[in-house]
Structure 1
């Protein structure tokens, strides 16, 4: 049943007793040498290092969250600024379009007026040329008619001179 109550288990001839006594002496030496304190201090140092790493990780996480919040805020601001710039650009484009239309209409009106003026000048010049040609033609015709009427009569040098001057005076 139980090994503790068997005869001969507690005798010094039993090698298991010597293993147990050696183990107790070994643990005693370890305790006397301060190994538990050394192990404890090593474990405490390791725990402190891990705690420091955890604190550093928490600080870095907080910084990352703050940076992420700032980036999101800047993104919203940049999107708002981009929307404002787009609206301003569209307004400028509309304004430039209206100005361009106005300038185009003004230019077209000015060119149309210039063309009408040139046409009026050409018409006036053509009318003047037609009038001058009509005057020349009528003077020549009058000269021929008068010459034909007078050819039947005797020639008068004063009348011939007056007829010759009619063409010059009508122009």
Structure 2
């Protein structure tokens, strides 16, 4: 048995395991493995937390983007309504301006017509008076004629004005 190499291999293996146990190699290996497992678990927990935070941030940014889009639509709608209101107001003012200018022009035309009619009446009265004066002067002579002409001229003037 002492000459059997298998026996010495077994003795060497037992001594090797004894030295390993004496030096606490299994505890060191398991301790290292445990530490590594804890570190991996910690990293996984941190990664999970970071992922949750990233999802929360993404949800927050998406919500803010929707709110901003909604607000932009409201601003556009309000601006459109204001532009339509300003356009309607401008059209109304323009119509009022055109109507007032038209009325003013019509009033000036009516005033010019009235003035022209007055001038024609005055001119025709002056012509009629002058004609009557010539006719009466040619037919009637003397102080009686002068008195008749003056009375006729006064009557014509009073009736025409």
**What's the TM-score once normalised by structure 1's chain length?**
0.67
1:124: Cα distance to partner? Answer: 1.1
1:80 matched to which residue of 2?
Answer: 70
Paired residues in the alignment total: 153
Give the one of 5, 12, 20 matched to 1:10.
5
Alignment of 1:3-152 (within 5 A): 10=5, 21=12, 28-150=18-140
1:130: Cα distance to partner? Answer: 1.7
Q: Distance in 1 between matches of 2:4 and 2:144?
A: 188
Q: Distance in 1 between matches of 2:119 and 2:15?
A: 147
RMSD: 3.6
Partner-residue secondary structure (3-state), 1:101? helix
Q: Distance in 1 between matches of 2:121 and 2:15?
A: 150
Q: Distance in 1 between matches of 2:146 and 2:120?
A: 28
Q: Distance in 2 between matches of 1:149 and 1:39?
A: 161
Q: Distance in 2 between matches of 1:71 and 1:138?
A: 98
CA contact (8 A) 2:137 2:145 kept: no
**What's the TM-score once normalised by structure 2's chain length?**
0.70
Q: Distance in 2 between matches of 1:123 and 1:38?
A: 124
**Greater share of helix:** 2
Structure 1: stretches of 5+ with no match in the other structure: 1-7, 12-16
Q: Distance in 1 between matches of 2:28 and 2:19?
A: 14
Q: Distance in 2 between matches of 1:35 and 1:137?
A: 149
